[in-house]
Structure 1
Amino acid sequence: MAQVENQNAGFLIYHTYFFEQLFIDLLIVHPALRRKGVVKALIEYVENNCTSKKIFSSTNKSNESMQHVFDALHYKQSGYIDNLDEGDPEIVFYKEIRS
């Protein structure tokens, strides 16, 4: 959970069920607190406390703002998943974490 000025700003959910790799499953940020670095802080917290060698996540092709976040944090595209949302493929991203 992230806070900005003592207000809950957002949260992140992850798991290790994705081929035994850490997968960021859900990121939620309060609409009034978006574009204030909350997502970046949440992801960096997970990266800094991660015990796996890679982190994966995904977003829809239509979600350009999240794609920019992944690019800014040096995640690389790893593939696509079709047929989850009609006409809007899911893009899978990953980042190797230094030991």
Structure 2
Amino acid sequence: MNNVHDLRALTIRAGTPADAPTLVALDPVARSDGDERRTHIQRWCRAGSILLADTPTGPAGYCVLEYTFFDQGFVTMLMVAESGRGHGVGEKLLRAAMASCLTDKLFTSTNLSNQPMQRLLQRVGWRSVGMVHGLDDGDPEVFYLCTPRTR
């Protein structure tokens, strides 16, 4: 896996359709769930919704920014390569999404059980704005908001 310990060498760029196979290889869900996540990754790449964290040795993670949530920005996915977690890649991707969002409000969500993601969101200025039960049995989805004043 990529050496992501030196974040000075990490750049954020738009993903392209050519990146899809590499992102599938980076994403443990895409490697194990059949075709569903792979199909999403290919669609996100074609739509220009991917922000890619790139290192000299290849991608370290990706973020998906869409505008399908009540016409507001929504970070649909934040995925950091397993060996790169805890090194600031997720934070850089979230900050890039925050900076490039075209709407006044930017939302995301994560499972209540995903404590690392919740800590990351709070650290970069997002606030919890609600919870939805029933999407994943026994693990509610917590929604977060980032507004221009927190960007």
TM-score w.r.t. the length of structure 2 is 0.62
- For residue 57 of structure 1, what is the aligned residue in structure 2? 108
Once the two structures are superposed, the pairs formed by residues 1-99 of structure 1 within 5 Å of their partners are 1-98=52-149
Aligned equivalents of 2:101 and 2:76: distance in 1? 15
Q: What residue identity is the alignment partner of 1:91? A: V
Greater relative contact order, per chain length (Cα 8 Å cut-off, separation 6+): 1
Question: Any unmatched runs of 5+ in structure 1?
Answer: none
Q: What residue identity is the alignment partner of 1:61? A: L
Shift of 1:50: 1.7
Give the alignment's Cα RMSD to 1 decimal. 1.4
Aligned equivalents of 1:19 and 1:61: distance in 2? 22
Question: Any unmatched runs of 5+ in structure 2?
Answer: 1-51
Structure whose residues are more often strand by fraction: 1
Percent identity over paired residues: 31
Structure whose residues are more often helix by fraction: 2
Shift of 1:7: 2.3
How many residues align? The count is: 99
Deviations 1:67-89 (A, max 9, x none): 00011011111101100111110
